[in-house]
Amino acid sequence: MRRILIVDDEDGVLEELSDYFAKDYEIVTAKSAAEAIELLEGLDLAIIDMFMETEESGIEVLKVAKKMMPLLQCIILTAYGTASNAVKAMKEGAYDYVEKQTPDIYEALDYKIKRALEYRDSIEALRESEEKYHALVEDVRETNSRLEEALAELRITQQKIVQQERLRYIGQLASGIAHDFNNILTPILGYSDFMLNSPEILRDKKKTRQYLDMIRIAAEDGRELINRLSLFYRKREDNDDFVTVDLNQLIQQTILITQPRWKDQAQAAGITVDILTDLQDIPLISGKENELREVLTNLIFNSVDALTINGTISLCTQTDGKNIILKVKDSGIGMTEETRKRCFEPFFSTKGLSGTGLGLSIVYGIIQRHEGTIEVESELGKGTTFIIRLPRATEKQDKDKVKTKKGTLYPLHILVADDEKSILNLLASYLTADGHTFELANNGREGLEKFKSGNFDLVITDRAMPDIGGDQLADLIKQIAPKVPIIMITGLGNIMETSGEMPKNIDRIIGKPFRLDELRKVLIEVTVKSENGYT
């Protein structure tokens, strides 16, 4: 049985984690850094609280552990989840990083423990394979068949190591995403707070709709930011989800969305920022709106950070024939030549702990995926200009339309099971608006009881629920009514789909957060009536 050390100075945390994982692992515990260091030998994995009796004492345990036992995988656990803490833990050799406030923390930890142990096993296997290979090379003429076997084993192991490294990098990328997510939350919190505290604005329907549009766009960007993690689970196809995009309109939209940062927050810091535009008549481009909007947002925020006194940010578009040119220029402090050359490198930052060094590297990656180029012109004290070139949309892309599955969705009687009241209320509003009838269940057991006593056309269930989870509920319902479609709504929906994880007896997965049109589309897919009946 694998041996795991749990280090935390809180008795409650130690007891809960020990009880939960004791059925699968041999658990040892420590309440201090000194005690933990004494117990390191013979371990397979350690879960370490980052902040204990002294500041960052968990980091000290991590450093000693990686020095004594390089193969020991360590997961940092903390209630103080910040981008700088995550990056610091990863740089010191942590396999992953988990916040104590994480929803479904036990499931998250269980998943990360399994992946960490697989990663450890892969490294051991790789070392063994390499030792076999070097030994066999010395006598290759006599051991040719064994050499081929070792080489094949080495290739398989190396592939597994690459996959594990990709998964581990998600933890590093998540620290940067957490930083950018705070920027996305700014217009959501700002506009909603403004409307709640200024009820007279609600009488202006045009202004209210504009603010709601900004809130919705920011929320969509937040979802897309999280979904980017799925890029590490699947191969991106050419032009995946690309549509025609009006770049000028996207620029105007992004300026509005980022206004709380470049105007309100800047003014609060005593800086006045003017944003100027020179948007010429340009053709459409092909791309992903959310990713391109993130490029613009990152560049605007980067320009704001470069302004230490009053200044300007200008956005200009033009065309040179086959390419669309976007220039984002600021009158800020500029860059040294060394900084200009390295600014697109991951984790390179001149902002100290306030920056993760991932913003411009993400911008660079997005532009590359759009088959474009990005250059930077800058001189210390004379501002910075980013020059982006993107290919214009082809004539075929201009004419392409999104095709949806044909069919008519008739009123349904639906069972909805979820232990989050806010999700139940949202689904009730959606289903009521579309003329469906429904019954709500606050957990899996209540859902099963209601299903047995009712006659439902369809079931919608959460995955993580107390007592009876969504997977088990689906199994029990399918035993009673095998033909009733079951839709699972879960916060891990995107990762499950892209990694190929489809629970048994689940017909469709919807990732949280979701929109009404997404729910409608899935309902049509599983229950649509055509001329030949249900499909």
Kindly report, residue by residue over 267-293, the tens digit of the pLDDT.
877 889 999 999 999 999 999 888 898
Cα separation, 181 vs 62, in Å, equals 28
Residue range 342-364: mean pLDDT, rounded: 67
Q: Is the pLDDT of residue 471 over 60?
A: yes
Q: Which CATH number fits domain 243-399: 3.30.160.100, 3.30.565.10, 3.40.190.100, 2.60.40.2580?
A: 3.30.565.10
- CATH superfamily of this structure's domain 3-173: Response regulator (3.40.50.2300)
Fold match flag (3-173 vs 243-399): no
Residue range 411-465, pLDDT digits in tens: 899 999 998 888 898 899 889 988 999 999 999 999 999 999 989 999 999 988 8
With a pLDDT cut of 90, the percent of the chain lying above it is: 34
> What local confidence, expressed as pLDDT, does residue 440 receive?
94
The residue to which tokens 């423990």 are assigned = 113
Helix ranges (H only) for 307-443 are: 337-342, 359-369, 395-399, 421-433
Residue 288 CB contacts under 8 Å (≥ 6 apart), including other chains: 224, 241, 242, 243, 245, 370
Cα separation, 24 vs 2, in Å, equals 8
Entry pTM: 0.41
Length of the chain: 535
Residue range 394-425, pLDDT digits in tens: 766 555 443 434 455 788 999 999 988 888 98
Domain map (residue ranges) of the chain: 3-173, 243-399, 413-534
Residue range 96-111, pLDDT digits in tens: 888 888 788 888 899 9
Least confident of 4-18, 103-117, 149-163: 149-163
> What local confidence, expressed as pLDDT, does residue 243 receive?
86
Cα separation, 356 vs 227, in Å, equals 19
> What local confidence, expressed as pLDDT, does residue 318 receive?
95
Q: CA dihedral in degrees (423, 429, 434, 435; nearest 10)? A: 110
Q: In the numeric block, which tokens belong to residue 93?
A: 């050799």
Pairing of strands 413-417, 26-30: unpaired
**For residue 459, which of 468, 450, 467, 425 has the smallest C-alpha distance?**
450
With a pLDDT cut of 70, the percent of the chain lying above it is: 80
Q: 498 or 364: whose pLDDT is higher?
A: 364
Residue range 210-264, pLDDT digits in tens: 888 888 888 887 777 666 545 444 444 444 568 889 999 999 988 887 877 788 7
Q: Is the pLDDT of residue 142 over 70?
A: no
Q: Is the pLDDT of residue 327 over 60?
A: yes
pLDDT band at 326 (very low <50, low <70, confident <90, very high): very high
Least confident of 31-40, 468-477, 520-529: 520-529
> What local confidence, expressed as pLDDT, does residue 225 receive?
65
Helix ranges (H only) for 198-229 are: 205-227
Tell me how far CA of residue 280 lies from CA of 126, 251, 275, 318, 326, in angstroms: 56, 12, 16, 6, 10
pLDDT band at 349 (very low <50, low <70, confident <90, very high): low
Residue range 468-474: mean pLDDT, rounded: 92
Q: Span 413-534: which CATH code? A: 3.40.50.2300
Residue range 52-90, pLDDT digits in tens: 876 668 899 999 999 999 889 999 988 776 777 778 888
**DSSP code per residue over 450-469:** HHHHS--SEEEEESS-SSS-
Q: 75 or 168: whose pLDDT is higher?
A: 75
Strands (E), 261-391: 273-279, 285-287, 311-319, 323-330, 373-378, 384-391
